[in-house]
Each structure stands twice: as C-alpha cells, then as structure tokens.
Amino acid sequence: MSWAIFSDVHGNLEALEAVAEDFGRRGITRAFFIGDAVGYGPSPNECLKMIAELTTVRLMGNHDHAVLQENGPEEFNKHAQAAIRWTRTALNAEARQILHSFTMSQTVGQHHLVHASPLRPQHWDYILDQLTALAALKNFSEWVCFVGHTHQPRIFQEAKDSPCSELPAADLHIKDDARYIINVGSVGQPRDGDPRACYAVYDPERQQLTYARVPYDIEKTQDKMRAVGLPEFLIDRLETGH
C-alpha cells in the first residue's frame, strides 16, 4: 500500500501531470490533495479537474479560499493578488464547483490532513520552526499530521519524554512512540531551492515516508503564464525553486 500526499499545485498543469505519471510508476494506491490547487499558475481549470480525478481527499488552501471570495485578499503580496484576480476570471463552472467541494481538514485513521496548521486551519498559519510546530502538535490527537502551505518539505518530531525537534526532510521511518508534523512540499511551485515538483509517498503499513522529486517542463508552464499575462516575478521563480 502506498499513498501519495501532495499540495500546492497552484495551477501548474505540467508539474501535476508529471507527478501523476510518477504515481503510476510507484504503484500509488490512494492520493490525498491537501490544498492550493490554484493561484500563481496558468491552468486552474485543468488542474482542478485532474485533482478531482486523482484523489479521494481534497482540502482547501488559502489561495483556493481567496479565489472563491469577491475581493482581496489584502494580506497577499501584489504578485499573488494579481494571480488571484486572473484566476477568478479564468475559472469555469465545473472547476468552481470542484473548488467549492474542498474541505478544511480530514482525518484518515491516525493521520490528520490540513493545508496550513491544525492550530487554526482557516487562519493559514505557517509551521516554520520548532516553536510553531510545538503549538500545532497540541491541536491534533493523531499520530501524524500532513501539511503543505510553506512549499518546503519539512519534518518535525515530538518523541516521548523529549522536546519537539526538526528532522532532515528525507526518507523516514515513523516511530510508534513519537508524533509528527510532515510538510509534503509543493508540486507546482517548490521553494526549497529545488525546482522539481515535490510530494510525499507514504506506506501506512510499513510506516515509511519518502519524498519524491519529479522534473517537468518548466519552460512550457512559463510560456503559458506569459501568454495570459501573469506577473514576471512568478514566472521567473519557477526555474529557481525559490
């Protein structure tokens, strides 16, 4: 049994297609999407349709939520706001219906799924360090919490009788006597210095986590972004992974 847990597609169809092909190569049996299907990228309708076909769990991200509002969001930077405004005009009725079906969080056995943080899901808090991870650990009771939102793969562990610590974002065996927050990285816009699409492969029976990195046609996505007038800043950052 292998699960794919992925996040932050952000309208990047080429990255999502490459990841879906990788699902097939790895024999993925179930896929979970944990937020931000849209925003930044040029293919929101296609990505939403594909996510609906691939997954059994689909969560709301802050960009997804913003697109469904009439105005704002003021808290986004000017480039993200421009992408949100464009996405609102680009969404078709089918895609909008799919987006409305997304939920804020989900629990699957001993695994909690949320886009940003279990502390206050709709406030879109960032888990960036041991302090924010410790606060988040107090707000779910399951063994493992999978998150996205920061676009950076990260692992925080709270072991019995030891403080919360950050582990390397690498292959990991999930211990019975510890609890975890695992950031699965970003499919459509990684920000850890590696521009390849990123997602997590998890075997719940063997309790084994692996990060998958998948190359895709970045230039094709960039060309599509330019064609619809998305900000050059968003276009350029795809090739650097920052």
pLDDT digits (tens, 9 = 90+) for 216-238: 999 999 999 999 999 999 999 99
C-alpha Rg value of the chain to the nearest Å: 17
Are 101 and 58 in contact, with CB atoms under 8 Å apart? yes
Check whether 21 has a pLDDT greater than 90: yes
Output the CA–CA distances (angstroms, integers) from residue 143 to 60, 110, 160, 207, in the order listed: 22, 5, 12, 11
- Average pLDDT on 5-10 reads 98
* Cα distance between residue 99 and residue 94, in whole Å: 9
Domains and CATH numbers, the chain: 3-237 (3.60.21.10)
Are 121 and 89 in contact, with CB atoms under 8 Å apart? no
Return the top range by mean pLDDT from 39-53, 69-83, 152-166.
39-53
* pTM of the entire predicted model: 0.97
Q: In the block, which residue shows the tokens 């480039």?
A: 79
Check whether 123 has a pLDDT greater than 90: yes
What pLDDT shows up at residue 197? 98
